[in-house]
Amino acid sequence: MQKLNKEIIKKKNIKGALLFFALLFYTFSFSQNEKKPKDLSKIVKTWAQPDVYPDHVVLSVAEDPTTAIGINWRTSPTDKIGYVEIAVSYGTPYFATRSQRIKAEKINYDTSINLDDGFESSFYGITIKDLKPNTLYAYRVGNDLFKSEWFQFKTAGNPKKEPYSFIYVGDAQNYILELWSRLIRTAFKTMPEAKFVIHAGDLVNYAHSETEWNDWFDAGGFIHSEIPTIAIPGNHEYSPYIKGRNVFGEKQFLSMQWQRQFSFPENGPKKLKKTCYFIDYPDLKVIALNSNLEIKLQSKWLKNVLAQNNKKWIVVTYHHPAFSASRKEGNEEIIKYWKPLFEEYNVDLALQGHDHAYTRGAVYTKELKSEYLKGPVYVVSVSGGKMYKLSSEGWDKYGAIKNKKGQYLQLFQVITIDDNKLFYKSYTASGKLFDNFELNKKEGKTQYLK
C-alpha cells in the first residue's frame, strides 16, 4: 500500500512538472512569435484529467442550508466507489473518531466523444441531510485507499444573533486560471466567513471544455470545498457538441459537466433541473433563474415561489441583465415577464452578469421619496479578465436610473445582512473598495441609501 501511494505521488509530481514546463515553453514561444508546440494540447489534457485521488471537490448550497449540504467530486474511472466521511469539527485531531461514512452516487461519463480535450471520469455527488444548524462540520471524500484532506464548513444558523455575509461574482469565463484566480482569492481573504458564493453565469467560456472547468476548480482551490456555491448557467454554459469550438446557430446543450459536478436543489421546473431553483436561508430567499431559455415558464414558477415567501430579504440571480451595462438595449423578455414580479413582491437585489462591465441602479417609486424603491437594486458585474466598454445609453426608458458605473475592472461583491439592514460593497481584484450602498427595511418599504 505504501509503495502504491509513493508511485501515485511520483506520477502526480511528474504530471505537474510536465505542465509547468509546457506552459513555460508556451509563454516563451509566444514571446518569440513562434507557434504552439503540437503536443501542448495533449499535455494540458493530461493535466486536466483526474486520477485516483479525489479532485474538483465542491459544496453546493441546499434548499435548507441549516440542515443540509451538497458535496461533489470526481476521480478517474478506475475508482469503483466513493464515500463522504463527515463529523462535527472540534479542536482536537480526534474528531474523526466520531465521523459518519456515507456512500455517494457515482456516475461515469466520457466526454471524449464530443470533445478534443475529453476523457472519462467518475463523478460523485450527495446531498447530506439531518445536520445540526449553526454547526461546524469537517468532511473528506474518497474511498478506502484514496482520500482527500479534511475540509470544513458551517451550517446556517439563527440570523438574529449576528450579521452574515455572502459573495457575488459575475462572469469568470476568460483567463480563468490566469486572472480570475486572484479575484476569487482576494474575495476569500476579504470575507473568509462568507456563507456562500453566488456565480451569475459564464463560469467558463466553452460549456463542455474539460480544461476550462479544471481551470475554474484550480483557480478557486479549497474555496470551492469550504464555501458553498450557488451558480446559474450563462449563455457560455450552453454550446453545441462540436469538438474544440463554440458555434452559434447550432443546437445548444447545457454543459456536460453541470449536472454531474453540482448538487443544487431540484425544486424548480423539471425542464430546468439544477439551473432554476431557490434557497431558503433563515431570513433570506435566494432565487436562481435560468435566463437562457423558458423565461415565460419560469415566470409562473417564480410568481408561485414569491407568493409563498416568508423571508425578510429576497435576492434573485440570473445571467442576462434586465437593463444592460454595455449594450444599447435591455432584455425585453426579462423586463416583460420577471420585472413586474420583482416589483410586486418587493425583491431586494437582482445580481446579474453577461455584460463584462459594471452598472448599478434601480427603479424608484413615484409616490414616495426618491430614496424608496420599486423592485430591486439591479447590479451587473464581471469578475474575469474579458472586458467590454460601457454603453452610453441610460435606463430611463425602463423607468430606471443608473447610480454607479465602471469599466475595465475585475470586481467582486460582499453583501452583508444584519436584521433590517443590507450592506453592499464592491471591490476590485486588488481589494480596493469601488462601490457601496445600503438597504433598510422600513415600514414595509425598502429604503435605498446610495
Q: Give tens-digit pLDDT for 231-265.
A: 999 999 998 876 555 555 568 899 999 999 999 99
Q: Please choose, from the candidates 261, 256, 314, the residue with its C-alpha nearest in 3D space to the C-alpha of residue 283.
A: 314
Residues spanned by CATH 2.60.40.380 within the chain? 49-157
Give the CATH architecture of domain 49-157: Sandwich (2.60)
CA triple 142-53-189, angle to 5 deg:
90
pLDDT band at 114 (very low <50, low <70, confident <90, very high): confident
Alpha helices in 143-237 (DSSP H): 181-190, 210-220, 223-226
DSSP 322-376: SS-SSSSS--HHHHHHTHHHHHHTT--EEEE-SSSSEEEEEEEPSSS-TTBEEEE
Query: How far, in Å, CA of 410 to CA of 79, rounded?
Result: 39
Instruction: Read off φ and ψ for residue 123, nearest 5 degrees.
Output: -100, 135
CATH topology of domain 164-449: Purple Acid Phosphatase; chain A, domain 2 (3.60.21)
Residue 147 gets which letter from DSSP? B
Report the predicted TM-score, pTM, of the whole model to 2 decimal places: 0.89
CB within 8 Å of 425: residues ≥ 6 apart: 413, 414, 415, 416, 433, 435, 436
Set of cell numbers at residue 190: 476579504
Which grid coordinates are listed for 273? 433541473
Q: Is the pLDDT of residue 71 over 50?
A: yes
Q: How confident is the model at residue 94 (pLDDT cuts 50, 70, 90)?
A: very high
Structure confidence by residue, pLDDT tens digits, 4-14? 444 444 444 54
- In the chain, where does the domain assigned CATH 3.60.21.10 lie? 164-449
What pLDDT score does 31 carry? 45
**Where is average pLDDT lowest: 271-280, 369-378, 396-405?**
369-378
Of the candidates 59, 56, 99, the one whose C-alpha atom is nearest the C-alpha of residue 74 is: 56
What gap in Å lies between CA 419 and CA 68, rounded to an integer? 23
Residue 31 Cα distances to 18, 34, 36, 176, angstroms: 20, 8, 11, 21
